[in-house]
Amino acid sequence: MSSQNQGYGPCHPEFQKWSKMKIEIYTDGAARGNPDGPGGFGAILRYIDPKGEVHKKELSAGFDKTTNNRMELLGVIIALEQLRKPCDVDLYSDSKYVISAFNEHWLDGWVRNGWKTSSKSPVKNRELWERLLLAAGPHHIIWHWVKGHNGHTENERCDELATTAADAPATELYHDDGTDLKKILKKDF
């Protein structure tokens, strides 16, 4: 079969053999009273189908006690875990913590050094980084940094989702102890 589309849609098995879906993901994290206040993440997944129709999904959740970095990571993780097959992903975040870990190969060094930083201290948020590596594994991802609070439409929307989630009533917030983080993957999105 040639690499040209034979009229198959993206769900047809023949199409899937040679073509990956192209997905755009935008994420942001927020924390109030960082490091021990409530926080949240927001994410947008966008796909344009072969007919030119835009499909968009927004995700968010809030936590009672967390950090900004944890929320930045969780937004990326949850978004990537929505993808059901390998995709070509353009991922946009205002988190240099997340983007630099991939683009400047921090993660490669951390893994090579047994999850120790260059100063030999343990990598913070290791369980989330490991989960992110698993979520990213099947995909080809280009990591893009965007300046936060600078008028980027999707980044501004993700910030709104993240801060709204962080500001939710305490009874609606998850607890960032590892247990609720596992639950959120299975039931909420």
The domain spans of the chain are 13-187
pTM of the model: 0.85
Closest residue by Cα to residue 153 from 100, 99, 94, 103:
94
Q: How much is the pLDDT for 10?
A: 46
CA–CA dist 90, 174 (Å, integer) = 28
Single-letter amino acid code for the residue at 98 = V
**Catalytic residue set:** 28-29, 72, 94, 149, 159
Print pLDDT tens along the chain (189 aa): 333 333 444 444 544 544 578 999 999 999 998 888 999 999 999 999 889 999 999 999 999 999 999 999 999 999 999 998 999 999 999 999 999 999 999 999 999 999 999 899 999 999 999 999 999 999 999 999 999 888 889 999 999 999 999 999 999 998 877 666 666 654 444
When the candidates are 3.30.420.10, 3.20.20.10, 3.40.440.10, 3.90.550.10, the CATH number that belongs to 13-187 is 3.30.420.10
Q: In this predicted structure, what is the pLDDT of residue 114?
A: 96
